[in-house]
Each structure stands twice: as C-alpha cells, then as structure tokens.
Amino acid sequence: MTDLFRNELEAVKKYYEGDPLQKRFSALICGTIGSGKTYLLRTARLPVHIDSFDPGGTKCLRDLIEKGLVVADTSYEREDPFDPSAWERWKRRTDIRFEIGYFKHFGTYCLDSSTKWQDASMNFQLKSANLLGQAPRMRHDYTPVKIAMVNYINKFMNIPCDFILNGHFKEDEEITSVNQSTGVVSKKVEYRFLTIGQAATTIPLMFDEIYVLRARETSAGWERELLLESQGQYIARSRLKANGKLNDVEPANIKALLRKIGLAWEDKPKLEFDQDEKAAATIT
C-alpha cells in the first residue's frame, strides 16, 4: 500500500465520519387525509418549524405552538389561485432562512404538505405565464414546477436538522387480467406519493425514508403506526432499517425510531423569545 493510496483512503474515511448528512434524518411521510401526519410532529425532535400550506393543518399542535416548542408559519395557507402569492413569499423567506442559519436552532423542519406546496408553485408558474386559473400545460408548466420543487428539496437535504415532507396518496390502478368467459376484470391497486409527472419518482428517491402513516381502530381506540416497507397496496422504504433494528411496522413515534437506530433523537434547546415574538412566529 503506497503512501498516496493510504492518504486518499484516510481522506475518504475522514470525510464520511464527519459528514453530517450521514447522521441526519430525512423522511417523506405519506398518508390519507386525516391520518395524523401533522399530529405525528409531536413525536419529532423539538423545536419544530412547520411551513404550513394546508389550511388549518396546525390546529392539532396549538398547545405546542403556545409553549414555543413548535413554530408554525401559516401565512401560506391563504392562497388565491387568481391572485397567488404564497410561493413567492415562501421562497423569499426560505432563502433568507438559509442565509442566516435559521434551521440550526431547530430539531426538525417540516413542509406540510407537498400537495398544497406544489399547488402554490404551480399558481406562481401560471401567473408568470399569464394563465391564472387555467389548466397547466404539460411541458411548459409542469417541468418548471418539478424543477423548482426538486431544487429546494435538495437544499433542505443539507440543513442541520431533521427534514420531514408530508404528502398524500394517489391511487394507481392496473388491470392484471380479464376473464374471457365472464368478463370479470382483475385489478391491482397501489397507493403512491401524489405529485406531478416524473416528480413522483424523483422526489421519493431523494429521501432516506419513505413511510406510510396508517391509523387503525383497536379495542383501546385508534392507534397510529408507520409502515417502513412496502406491503400490499402501499409503497414504503427504509434505508435505516437495513441495520436490523427496525421492524416492517413501527409505532408512530419519530424520536423512538431515531433512538432505536442510534441517530440523534434528543430535542435541541428550547427557543428563547418573549410573548410578542412568539405571537409573530405564528402567523394566522
């Protein structure tokens, strides 16, 4: 082994050991409407910053917001497709937050949800093309929106806190067979991440974890669980499960998952701000 080879090998090992991205948690969490995706943030590393595009979506976290454990920017929830402004405001604020190191003070950042975030981006695109309120054009409008979303998700993959993107499902139906005698059609139904075009493949590939949040009724009441591996109709994947410390289905608790696999799970220090600042942090 030459000195040049040894030096290069050590450099690669040293970079890996000090690379914060190898120790950071990123997850795309999908579920049906009302499955509890926003509520799940109660179990994420605190404090949590949420950019909320879903109208009224953070009401289930009101107690944590009042305590300063969650900062919810809800100014993007009121979007008028005939006079859109949410994407421009979000982009401007987010770029400033990158510049000032805003995210290092948080345990978790969440975009909630990708569906309405995408809508805001499309509204901006249609406004730029003088097509407000009209149907998007395939290449002229969908492609710029996809690129914009992918570019910002790439930037969020480098922030010094956990990153969660909440999303919804779309139903994919495929005919598997047709009985020639009876005419009975057999179908295969899968639920995938709801987004536009090729982004349905591109965006999930960017995340370490793709989870499905499910709620099921038990004798003790409703219980939520995270599906980490594809089962039946749902598409899920976990890179962290490879170490054998996670099951295909886990309780819906982010910090418990992180602790189980040996990643940082502790909350960061509570944000210090007075009542006026706390009121300004939650824009209604």
18: buried, middle or exposed (CB in 10 Å: 19+, 13-18, 0-12)? exposed
CA dist 134 and 123 (Å) reads 10
7 to each of 12, 17, 76, how far by Cα in Å? 9, 15, 50
CA dist 113 and 51 (Å) reads 8
- Can you give the pLDDT of all 284 residues of the chain as single tens digits? 787 778 787 888 877 766 666 667 999 999 988 889 999 999 999 999 999 999 999 999 999 999 999 999 999 999 998 999 999 999 999 999 999 999 999 999 999 989 999 999 999 999 999 988 888 887 789 999 999 999 999 999 999 999 999 999 887 766 766 777 776 777 666 778 889 888 888 999 899 899 999 887 777 777 899 999 887 788 888 988 877 889 999 999 999 999 999 899 999 999 986 654 444 444 33
Which of the following CATH numbers is that of domain 25-281: 3.30.70, 1.20.81, 2.60.40, 3.40.50?
3.40.50
195 backbone φψ class: left, alpha, beta (φ>0; ψ -120 to 50): beta
Sketch the domain layout of the chain as residue ranges. 25-281
Residue linked to tokens 């639920």: 191
